[in-house]
Amino acid sequence: MKIAIFSIATYSKLEEAKVLLDSVFIHASWAQTFIFLAEKSDSLEILKSDTFGHKVVTLSELAIENLNQLAFQYNSEEFTQALKPWSSEYLLKTFDAVIYFDSDIEVFSSLSEIFDEIPKYEAIVTPMITASIPNDEFCPTYTDILRVGQLHSGFFCIRFSPQIKNFLNYWKEQVKSGLSTIDPSNQWIGKDIIFSGILSFVDHIRIIRSKAYHFSAWNAFQRNLSKNQELIITSDGPLVFLNFQGLSRDYEKKLGQKPWVHRSFLPSTKKLRPFLSSDLLADLGKKHKIKKIEARNQLKIRSRAYTFGYYHNGEPIFHNDRRTFLRMNYLEKKYTGNPFLSQKYIKKINLISIPLKIWKRDSSIVFRLKFWKKIMHRLLLIMRRKRSPSIKQITIKIRK
């Protein structure tokens, strides 16, 4: 059976991706490893050398429809998460099964259990938590877990089947609509709650509840680690892989002492539950940081800006610009075209042009009433600006 193992990263995360795939290669040297670069395809010169050691796939090879709109509505971290269904679909055209790891994961022991289970199941996943959470003053709470999702998309293994294909189509549509970040009513929807929808699409799923898999910040308060010579041991055997995301940015201090909230959780006044084995986790964090520095030096990577972080005219894209575009409905996004053209163009589109184009498409009475309500609301917003255009200028814009 042909199996591919892959991750997704921007330029700023390439050293992490290399540490991950190098650790995978130690325990599964026969598997083919891939890194999908979440940057513009014309900026690949940095990886032309063979120093990376793993095959690099560009966005142009994925052939994503409306790629510019997808890249514009998400920031760099969200965009790498959004590319998962397209990357999986791309590899499943050639391979029988694919395994995905987030770039901030490191593998510490054999993946043989996963490889043995692939022929039996269509999907292999890991849950957020595997034990009960007490109702106290700490986070995460059950509400946090339910809001984020029962399964974590930082790791998954899927095998090609009609049900998996149907699930990937569902995943892509949800990512396009922007539900992986925030919905129009400003209610947070975690990216993993969409991935957890796999339970509705696929029959044969293996949920690995072993504490040796996917050790991470959101379950570190439930799991203990110990060291036996060179092996890291959990209550269920040798540690298989650990997700360093969010554990701590300050490896000189004991982990668990610093209040922290996972990126998928809402801002909370509660402190994170104290981690077990914080000293050992801090030591692992230091070693992981050293490996990243060595990988950066080996790749000769210089600090490089996110290529989707600027408009075509060089103006930076601010967070509010992305969220404004994210909240547009399907027709508004469709008629916007390429949102990277310029900031002023986007503002003009938001105010007048898009509603006028949609007007020509739908002439129903109900739609026209909603249309004029929206137009009047946007005209009021224009008038409240410091440099408010005259009524004559507004009328000319509407007539055009």
- Maximum separation of any 2 CA atoms in the chain, in Å: 79
The pLDDT value recorded for residue 377 is 66
pLDDT at 125 over 90: yes
Please spell the DSSP secondary structure of 180-194, one letter per residue.
TTB-TT--B--HHHH
pLDDT at 271 over 80: no
Average per-residue pLDDT in the chain?
78
The pLDDT value recorded for residue 386 is 44
What pTM did the predictor assign? 0.80
- Please name the residues in contact with 241: beta carbons below 8 A apart, sequence gap of 6 or more: 101, 105, 106, 107, 108, 155, 213, 214, 215
Interval 143-172: pLDDT, tens: 777 777 889 999 999 999 999 999 999 999
pLDDT at 365 over 60: no
Poorest-confidence range of 89-98, 233-242, 274-283, 380-389? 380-389
Let me know: does 244 contact 263? Beta carbons within 8 Å.
no
pLDDT at 140 over 80: no
pLDDT at 56 over 50: yes
pLDDT at 301 over 90: no
Poorest-confidence range of 57-61, 127-131, 333-337? 333-337
Could you tell me which residue, 395 or 148, shows the higher pLDDT?
A: 148
Q: What CATH code would you report for 3-299?
A: 3.90.550.10
Tokens of 88: 């999986």
Poorest-confidence range of 20-34, 118-132, 135-149? 135-149
3-state secondary structure of 379: helix
The pLDDT value recorded for residue 87 is 96
The pLDDT value recorded for residue 178 is 74
> For the chain, what are the domain ranges?
3-299, 319-399
